[in-house]
């Protein structure tokens, strides 16, 4: 299972709210790109996938220079810190 549609919409909304100059299509594209980066990690646990996705969206929305890859890496590091 990938990222649930509900979370994709919330993630795209998070990005769109911080960057109103982006079209909704661009914000959705950014969210889908983050979801794809997370898929490539092969995370099995759905809760972890969804949480890392939302965190990555928030990291991207806070820093327009942060790449999707770096946002996902940062979110995964945060997951590991909290999980430890």
CA distance 10 to 44: 21
CA distance 60 to 11: 10
Query: Which pLDDT does position 84 carry in this prediction?
Result: 87
pTM to 2 decimal places:
0.93
Burial of 17 (0-12, 13-18, 19+ CB in 10 A): exposed
Tokens at residue 75, please? 């979110």
Query: Which pLDDT does position 1 carry in this prediction?
Result: 67
Cβ neighbours for 74, distance < 8 A, ≥ 6 positions apart:
55, 56, 59, 66
CA distance 57 to 10: 9
CA distance 16 to 7: 14
Q: Which residues constitute the domain of residue 19?
A: 5-83
pLDDT 10s digits, 25-65: 999 999 999 999 999 999 999 999 999 999 999 999 999 89
Query: Which pLDDT does position 3 carry in this prediction?
Result: 94
When pLDDT is averaged across residues 72-79 and rounded to a whole number, the result is 98
Provide the number of structural domains found in the chain.
Answer: 1
């Amino acid at each position: 299972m990938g990222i649930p549609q509900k979370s994709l919409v919330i993630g795209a909304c998070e990005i769109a709210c911080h960057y109103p100059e982006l079209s909704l299509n661009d914000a959705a594209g950014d969210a889908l790109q983050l979801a794809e980066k997370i898929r490539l990690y092969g995370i099995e646990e759905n809760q972890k996938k969804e949480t890392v996705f939302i965190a990555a969206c928030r990291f991207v929305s806070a820093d327009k220079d942060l790449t999707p890859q770096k946002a996902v890496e940062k979110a995964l590091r945060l997951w590991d810190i909290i999980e430890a």
